[in-house]
Structure formats: C-alpha cells, structure tokens
Amino acid sequence: MKKEEDFKPFISSDRKLPEITVISVVIGIVLAVIFGAANAYLGLRVGMTVSASIPAAVISMGIIRIVLRRESILENNIVQTIGSAGESVAAGAIFTLPALFMWETEWGGEQASLLNITIIALCGGILGVLFMVPLRKALIVREHKSLKYPEGTACAEVLMAGEKGGKGARVVFSGLGISALYKFITDGMKLFPSQVHMEFNKFKGGGFGSDVLPALLGVGFICGAKIASYMFAGGILGWLVIMPLISVFAGNNVLFPADVPVSSMDSFALWGSYIRYIGAGAVAMGGILSLIKTIPLIFKTIINTFRGLKNDKNSEIPQERTDRDISIKVIGITILLLIIIIWLVPTIPVNFTGAIIIAFFSFLFATVSSRLVGLVGSSNNPVSGMAIATLLISAVVLKATGIMGREGMLSAIAIGSVICIVGAVAGDTSQDLKTGFLLGATPKKQQIGEFIGVIVSAVTIGGVLYLLNMAWGYGKGDLPAPQATLMKMVVEGVMDGNLPWTFVFVGAFIALIVEILKIPVLPFAVGLYLPIHLSTAIMIGGSIRWLFERKKESKKDVENGILYSSGLIAGEGLMGIILAVLAVIPFKGGAFSDIINKSDVFSFGIVGSIIFFALLILSFWGFKKKG
C-alpha cells in the first residue's frame, strides 16, 4: 500500500480535465483503423507488428494541441488508448486467422466468412480488456516500481514532454526525428540492411547478429540491463548452444520436422525448424508457472475489489477519480455472456469444450501477457507463442474427445484466434493503463476507450484480411504470413499425429530449470523463442542504461535517456507504419514504396549497418545532459 501512497501522478486526482470527448473518440477511431490495417500488412509480411500507442500519442498531440489548440493531456491519452487498440486486435488476428484462408484454398468452400472473423475478433478483443481490468490494481498500481511497462512509460513521457514543453520535449522529439530518419534510410531507401548476421563456419549450426534498429535500443534502455540480460541469455542458449548441438548430433540426417539434412541448414533454418518449438514450450511452461504464482494475488485483488464495493456502499467518502474501474459485477456478467455466445453462435466453430478452453486460457494468457509486457514491452510480447501453446493443448483435447479432421482443425484455430487476440489486447490495455496511471487518467474512462477501439478494429479487420488475401494470397511471396503458417502447421501436426513433441517438452523443462534457479522465466523464454537479433539490440540498450547508472548523480542522465528512448520508439513506430502504408499503395505495376527503394542503385552494405548503428548508440551520450 505504501507504493500507492508515495506515487503522485502528473495530474492529481482532484483535478478534472476533458477525457472522453467527441474529438478524442473520432480521432482515436480513425487511428485505430489506420494502425490496424497497416500493422496487419506488416505482420503478414514480416511476422511482427509495431506498437501503436506512442505513434498514436504523438499524432494526437499534433492534431489536438497544435491544430485544434486544445490542451488536455488526458484527452490525448484517450486518443492513444483507442488508436492503439487497432494494432493489438490486428496483431492477434493476423497470427492465426489467415490459416482459414489458406485452408479455403486447399479444401475449397468458404472457411473464413466476414461475419466469422468479426465475431472472433470482437469476442477476443472484449475479453482481453475484461480480464485485464481486475488485474489493474495488482499489476499497475501495487507493482508500479517493479513492472516498468516500457511502451506505457514511454508513451506517458511523450505526452508529459509535450505538455511541459521546453528542453524535455526537445529531447523526445529529437529522438523521434532521428529514429524516423534512420528507419526511412534503412527500411525505406534500403541504403543498408536493418539486420547484421554472421554464420560460424567452424561452429556449425551457430549464428549471431543484431537488428540495428532504434526502437530496440529504446526498449532495452527503458527495461534496463537485468531484464535485457535474461532475454539475451535465452537467445544465447538457443543460437549458440542448442542449435550447434543439433547440427553436431544430427549431421547429414533429416531430423523431423524439417525435410532436408540438418548439415544443409543455416542458423535461420535451424531456428525456424527446431528452436521455435522449444521456445514455444518454454513460453507455455513460463505462462503456467506465472499463473500459479499470480493466482493468490489475483484472488486477493478480486476479494479486495468486492470488499471495496461493499465499503463504498457503506461509506460517504467518494472513490478517487484515479481509482475508478468498471464494476466487477459488469465484468463478470459480460465475460459469462461472451463465453456463452462463443459456444452457441453457429458461425464460430467451437463447442462447449472449446468454450471452456477459451475461458480458462483467456484468463491464463491475459494474466501472463499483462505481466510480461510490464517486463519486456508489447513489441516483444510472444502472443504467437501463447497461441501455439493454446493450439497444442486445444487440438489434443479436441482430438481426444473425437473432434478431428477439418472440423477439429477449424475449431482449434478459432480457439487459438480468440486466445491470441485476448493476449495481444490484454498486453496493450496494460500498457495504456500504465500510461494513464502515470498521467493521472480515470481508469474507467480509459477502459471504455479500449472497448471503443477493439469494437471498431474488430469490425474492420475482417475487411482488411479479405482485401489482402484478394490482392496477394496468404502463404506466398508477397504475404508469407509466417506466424499463421506455423499455427496451421501445428494444428495439422497434432491432428495428423506428426508434431515434434520432443522439442516442445525440451523447452518446457528448460523453463522449469530456469525457474528452479530463481531466474525470471518469461523474459528468458521470450529470448529463447525470438531470434537472437532482437535480444542483442535490446541488450545493448540495457547496457547503455547500466553505464549511465554507474555514476552517483545519474538520475538526470537516466531520465533524459528514457525521454530519448521514448522518441526512438515513437519515431520507428511512425515511420514503420508509413512504410507499411506505402507498400500497399499500387504504383506503375509495383508498390509506391519501390520508388524510394534505392538498393539497386547504391548500398553501404553491412559496414554501413555497423557504422550507423554505432552512431545511434553514441547519440545517447549526446542527449544525456540535455533537458
């Protein structure tokens, strides 16, 4: 309770500023649609999405403060809350639902109706918000100092810097400009690769490298060296220990699930064929362990909530504005109704057993996702790993109960889709509520904003998926849909009995060992599941903060570093979305983005990647004394 008393938000609880207004809702809805569409394309193209909270906050400030000359920071906060929901619904949807389109091509007939996709997205999005609300006091308030929520903190810093103006704002927007320009040069003009990688000829199977992108440095700085090191350790285990061992022991043999000799596979092929299954097992075990440890706190929070409601009825003292949530009774009734809808609505291929699985895993992964993004950020939230774990278990249960073949596959994907969207939305909601907590927003109004965002995004995401499928088709060169292809393979593997369970269980037991050693499992498991290139860049960002903190009077340096990191995350997010939009605009037989691509004319190559990334690292020292 002491943490709650010590903390003072930017806007005190006794002040009332405009929050949910016509302007904030309209702008938020527009941004939700734009970010949802752009991130859907981006995720289907490269398998990752961009967090939209900070870009939405920056655009909101530009429109509301500069164009409309309104000065309510809490109104800006509602815009980013609604706008970021589009990205989170899209992230959950594109990791699973394209499998329905791929089966439609293979089997014939309509497997993915627009109504089906909309209801799945709607149920998943609303459940993601509902399950997060009771966790707010436990994770956002009471663990304020231990769970950083990097994007949420960065978003608050951006909004506060814009409110205060002055040097702090200049640091944020300097980082934003540098990051946007850097992203444009590397991924727009393609003057140098955004990833550096090396294979070890005398260490067969091993590989190492780094994504040389500004947002990852920013996330690493905000998370700090300790969390970054856990992720990096997971990456090292996968890429420099397990993969070389597989290469040595397998040799020229073909090792399932790959269909080529292991000796012919490079590190990326080894990672895609084996390490991702190990990482999925580790994430699944980490989720189970996290739930077990969190259950007492969750129940305590729910009990305290009921007691608070009872006390509120008997007390004449009104509840503080910054402590008001949606009624727990409303949440409970709505969750029950949604589970019944999922069970009974014929357009969702889920029976009673599937509805129970959804109810349990929604609760599990909303909790895991909400806690995990507090440690490593939304951009590194392994939603697809959670979906894999759900698909594995649900497919096994469905098969055991006699639901097999196409019916079982469709049901498993529907279950996995809802859970995937729940995890993505719960993580995004956590970041948004952290932003609101730091700013002094009204939680209930933010939660209403989340509902508005997910409803709008759920209605539009089906149309986006249909348009992209008609334009290029999923699972092909232009839209490989890597995550959805993997989900499809997992479900088919379980139903056909050819899934590599050994690798899944190896990951689960690795996570158990890590837990016994008292090392945080989830960040380690994330590092094992994701390519090491992400963990390396995040580790560098964490190391920069460690260097800043070594000095006795380092508080100002660290604060400026967080401001600058916030700008780096915002800049790459904005430019990533702009580039994604340019990539879908047709122009002269290609895409509009082809005009700015200069890789066929000139490129700095890998040397340019190293030099520009080194200059980006050094730029932290150029801004640490400012502000």
* pLDDT attached to residue 589: 66
Cα angle: 89, vertex 93, 95; to 5 degrees: 125
Helix (H, G, I), strand (E, B) or coil at 208: strand
* Least confidently predicted of 55-59, 216-220, 413-417, 421-425: 55-59
Mean pLDDT, residues 496-521 taken together = 90
Closest of 594, 448, 580, 576 to residue 45, by C-alpha? 580
Report the chain's terminal Cα–Cα distance, integer Å.
Answer: 33
pLDDT tens digits for 314-360?
A: 555 556 888 888 988 899 999 999 999 999 988 888 889 899 999 98
Residue 558 tokens, joined: 């660290």
As a whole number, the mean pLDDT across the chain is: 85
- 261 beta partners: 254
Checking if the pLDDT of 2 tops 50, the result is no
- The two beta strands, 207-211 and 195-199, are antiparallel
* pLDDT attached to residue 264: 93
Please tell me what DSSP assigns to residue 140.
I
* pLDDT attached to residue 114: 87
pTM score over 0.95: no
Helix (H, G, I), strand (E, B) or coil at 195: strand
pLDDT tens digits for 455-484?
A: 999 999 988 888 788 767 787 756 778 778
Distance CA 63, CA 161 (A): 16
Please tell me what DSSP assigns to residue 261.
B
Checking if the pLDDT of 42 tops 50, the result is yes
Residue 607 tokens, joined: 């040397």
- 132: Cβ contacts below 8 Å, ≥ 6 apart: 366, 370, 425, 426, 429, 430, 433
For residue 394, the enclosing domain spans: 2-623
Distance CA 393, CA 408 (A): 12
pLDDT tens digits for 250-280?
A: 999 999 889 899 999 999 999 989 998 898 8
Phi, psi (rounded to 5 degrees) for 396: -65, -45
- 586 beta partners: 591
pLDDT tens digits for 192-251?
A: 998 999 999 889 999 999 999 998 898 889 888 998 999 999 999 999 999 999 999 999
Q: How far is CA 360 from the centre of its chain?
A: 21
Q: Say if residues 98 and 465 touch (Cβ distance below 8 Å).
A: yes
Residue 492 tokens, joined: 């088919």
The count of domains in the chain is: 1
Checking if the pLDDT of 387 tops 90, the result is no
Residue 426 tokens, joined: 């719960």
Confidence of residue 597 (pLDDT cuts 50, 70, 90): confident
pLDDT tens digits for 515-566?
A: 999 998 888 988 898 889 989 999 999 999 999 998 766 777 887 888 888 7
Give DSSP secondary structure letters for 569-602.
Answer: HHHHHHHHHHHHHHHHSEETTEETHHHH--TTT-
Cα angle: 491, vertex 493, 498; to 5 degrees: 160
Checking if the pLDDT of 121 tops 50, the result is yes
